[in-house]
Chain A
Amino acid sequence: MSVVYLVAIGIVPPQVLDWVENTLAEWTPWPVQRFPSMVFPEGAYDANRGQHKSVELMKLLARSAPTDAARMIGVTEGDLAIPTLTFVFGQAQLDGPVAVISLARLRQEFYALPADETALHERVTKEVLHELGHTFGLTHCADAKCVMSLATHIGLVDNKEERYCAQCGEQIAGKISSPDRGTL
């Protein structure tokens, strides 16, 4: 049986993991299980940039995924980046099982504003749905309200709604109904 594994990389507040688990349970057809927390792998931290290498975390998740993993979703407080870009909110394997999301830039505190739990909850949900969509093979959507639209700053994340547009939703439904897809 296929399982969606949820894993914290580094310390992640339990409440956030609950939010992510609920979202995954609601939007995937598989049972969601917590995977033991992981520490950041060696070489994942870029001291010059003060950020974590998203690619290294993706590799860690891919090699740790059990054989029955339909999805292996990582959550971290670490600020993620790739060599050419100053940051990413998250990253996913397009049409593959692995995805990671970073909480760092979803928090109001990152922008020197007072903490806002409601905002964080909404943003986490959107980021999870967004990366989950990529794992189903979806690319960015031109509809700015669709959760699959590209967000290059937090304003665009806030501008989205916590849902897929009709077209993206249909695409995911199509993938879910096809039994050969979405497993390792």
Chain B
Amino acid sequence: MKKVWPILVVDDEEVMSESMAAWLREDGYRVDTAPNGQKALELAKLTDYAIAFIDLKMPGGMDGIETMMEMRRARPEASVIIITAYATVDTAIQAMKEGAQEYIVKPCHPQEISMLVSRILKLKKLQSENVILRKKINRQYRHHDIITKNPRMQQILALIQDIASLRSTVLICGESGTGKELVARAIHYSGARADKPFVSVSCAALTETLLESELFGHEKGSFTGADTQTRGKFELADGGTIFLDEIGDISAKLQADLLRVLQERRFYRVGGSDEVAVDARVIAATNKDLAEEVHEGRFRDDLFYRLNVIEITIPPIRERREDIPLLAEHFVQHIASELGKDVSGISSEALKLLMDYDWPGNVRELENVIERAIVTSRNGTLVESDFSWLAVRSKSGQNWEVPDVPLSELERRAIIAVLERKRGNVKEAAVSLGIDRSTLYDKLKRYEISH
């Protein structure tokens, strides 16, 4: 795609700039010419030149070096190639010092210019691809990709925006499969650290020793098999975000190490004696009740308070059933196109089946269920029979267990459960709950329950 790159040739001698421009145009580039620095800068305001060839000696007004310096201020991305008929070491050094990408002495072999131009543009192409890929990743994890119309989730989205550019530690709680990592990525990619690394570590997946080395890196020879010095995830996340998933599962020793990193922002590699400073935002996640873990003495309270600066609790999908059709539709579109299957939707009967299910594995389970249905389906629309294997648990069959939560929370859950049973009919729900309709409306508002 070299044809898209515009080039500027600046020379006071028209024959020089025009002949050079003509030669480059034959190669397919869009080329403008300017007789002096002033005109060059005017043109550079209008066009984002990839390369500017600038003659060193231009009598009257700005010389080549001055033009280059101004050009670099206006268009820092443009590569400047200084052209001169008189090669001296001093001018070459000065040109390169002031930021010229190359310095050529005219006349120059066509192959030299041709290779120079294609080398610079190849680099520019890679750079622009890099920018495009980064944008793509950012888009992928921007908060609006979290699909919801649930008021509690909407609040979480607003909170993500508010805290994205802070450095504060975040603790994300929620049952497994609710999308804790997605929220962590949304925080990272919405904030000032978006162009720095997002490093994810699953703390439950590794043994204590391995996790320690994984997080903090190790020095050569610190243990059998440590053949080289290795940087840990904290170092890799420098400037960016480290996401510690399943933080509730780490050992007492690692809890102490982690506390030290959070307090002092520095640590030692395994087997190392030099401190390593690190600037990484920590986002931790857990599906355990960490306060309960602290109470039971399994989790350090000082670490808990360090992690729990901002807490986000993601509701399980059964508490935001209104999102099930949205999520199901999204997964059908996304997965069908990924798998190359011609499935475009989901029938209302099938959707009802999904709405009635309790989704203990939450959004991840819903995604897996839809993927399996798409793989096995022989229809253009997913129907009830595509989900026949899905064991629908009877909600009424669940045991009555009183969770350790405030009474208001119990009330909130009871209202949600009754509303679901009554398919969102407030009148029937109020009768069932033994309260009048206006009281129920008040409570719906207070608990931000959509119906």
Contact = CB atoms under 8 A, between A and B. Distances in A.
Interface in A143-163: 150, 152-153
A150 B114 contact: yes
Identify the interface centre among A84, A85, A86, A139: most chain B CB within 10 Å of its CB: A84
A85 B22 CA distance: 12
Interface of B: 3, 13, 15-16, 18-20, 22-23, 25-28, 53, 83, 106-111, 113-114
Interface stretch (A9-17, A18-26, A88-96, A120-128): A88-96
Interface of A: 49, 53-55, 81-88, 91-94, 134, 139-140, 150, 152-153
A88 B20 CA distance: 11
14 contacts: A49-B107, A82-B16, A83-B16, A83-B20, A84-B23, A84-B83, A84-B113, A85-B110, A86-B107, A88-B23, A139-B26, A139-B27, A150-B114, A152-B114
Nearest to A87: B110
Contacts of B111: 152-153
B107 A85 contact: yes
Contact of B106 (A84, A134, A153): A84
A19 B27 CA distance: 26
Given A83-B106, A86-B108, A94-B25, 12 more contacts: A55-B19, A83-B19, A84-B19, A84-B106, A85-B106, A85-B107, A93-B22, A139-B28, A140-B26, A140-B27, A140-B28, A150-B27
Nearest to A82: B19
Contacts of A140: 26-28
Nearest to A156: B111
A84 B19 CA distance: 8
Identify whether the interface residues of B are mostly helix, strand, loop, or mixed: helix
Contacts of A53: 15
Contacts of A85: 20, 23, 106-110, 113
Contacts of B25: 94, 139
B120 to A, nearest CB: 16
A57 to B, nearest CB: 12
A58 B74 CA distance: 36
Contacts of A134: 26
B27 A83 contact: no
A96 B18 CA distance: 15
Contacts of A83: 13, 15-16, 19-20, 106-107
A78 B83 CA distance: 26
Given A94-B22, A140-B26, A140-B28, A81 B107 contact: yes
